């Protein structure tokens, strides 16, 4: 297992699902963890579970000043910032493009693209000044293939994937390790919402078809180690059986 002793990791969308599983995995690997989410009670409970190695920072990642304040809190509390996992994301509205509420559609862009940018913009100067750091964006197969009813989500994930590539291009020479993870379908509340919508083939999948959130958490930990160096500037797909074996989630 990758050793994160002495490292400080910030995780957005840490209140549940992949984010919460990642916080637990990183803390178990020795990292100090900074938990970001709009749900202050949920991340406070998780921070209490983890203990002194965690702080909870209620944050709307679509607002840059809130993300910047969270990065400052991480540095003030733990002295540095080594890892940023851009995990927070929203799916709804699930609706035909021609019927979408413009404000709801725009909110997906604000969270899924601007939220990723805000995290990078706040963290990169800190990491560059330290001489290095790791930034991983949670991507999706929806970044590369359109799906009915998901115009906002697919568009936002495609934008976040390109933003991740741009960040790598501009910052690899500063010692920053930047890449993406496409986890596949994960057994989280988002999949319950997709199932309830009945729209497009993803909603027809059964619960047992989805991987547990601990799998992408374990992959993220692996990506923070030296094994991730071969994938800088790329997007790792956890659907790939070779990746699953390398990470250790299957034999």
- Give the span between the Cα atoms of 147 and 6, in whole angstroms: 42
Q: Say if residues 8 and 82 touch (Cβ distance below 8 Å).
A: yes
Phi/psi at 57 (nearest 5 deg)? -125, 100
Q: Would you say the C-alpha torsion 67, 238, 213, 203 has a positive or negative sign?
A: positive
- Give the span between the Cα atoms of 200 and 149, in whole angstroms: 7
Q: Is 157 known to be catalytic? A: yes
Catalytic residue among 62, 114, 153, 218: 153
Cis check for the bond before 93: say yes or no (omega within 30 of 0).
Answer: yes
- Dig out the tokens for 203 from the structure: 């909603």
Catalytic residue among 15, 139, 156, 182: 139
Looking only at the bridges linking them, the beta strands covering 83-86 and 133-138 are parallel
Catalytic residue among 62, 157, 182, 218: 157
Q: Is 5 known to be catalytic? A: no
Q: Is 139 known to be catalytic? A: yes
What angle do helix axes 64-78 and 115-130 make, rounded to 10 degrees?
30
Residue bearing tokens 């790598």: 168
What are the catalytic residues? Answer: 139, 153, 157
């Amino acid at each position: 297992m990758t050793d994160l002793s002495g490292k400080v990791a910030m995780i957005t969308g840490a209140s549940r699902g992949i984010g919460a599983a990642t916080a637990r995995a990183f803390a178990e690997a020795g990292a100090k963890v900074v938990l970001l989410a709009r749900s202050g009670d949920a991340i406070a409970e998780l921070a209490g579970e983890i203990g002194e190695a965690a702080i909870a920072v209620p944050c709307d990642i679509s607002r840059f000043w809130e993300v910047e304040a969270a990065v400052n809190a991480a540095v003030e509390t733990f002295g540095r910032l080594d890892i940023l996992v851009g995990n927070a994301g929203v799916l709804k509205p699930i609706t035909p493009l021609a019927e979408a509420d413009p404000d709801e559609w725009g909110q997906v862009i604000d969270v899924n693209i601007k939220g990723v940018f805000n995290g990078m913009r706040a963290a990169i100067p800190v990491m560059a000044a330290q001489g290095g750091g790791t930034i991983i964006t949670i991507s999706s197969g929806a970044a590369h293939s359109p799906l009915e009813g998901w115009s906002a989500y697919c568009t936002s994930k495609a934008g976040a994937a390109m933003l991740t590539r741009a960040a790598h291009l501009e910052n690899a020479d500063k010692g920053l390790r930047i890449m993406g993870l496409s986890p596949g379908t994960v057994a989280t509340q988002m999949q319950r919402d997709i199932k309830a919508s009945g729209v497009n083939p993803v909603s027809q999948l059964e619960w047992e078809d989805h991987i547990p959130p601990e799998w992408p958490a374990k992959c993220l930990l692996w990506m923070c180690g030296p094994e991730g160096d071969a994938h800088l500037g790329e997007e790792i797909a956890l659907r790939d059986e070779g990746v699953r074996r390398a990470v250790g989630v299957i034999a």
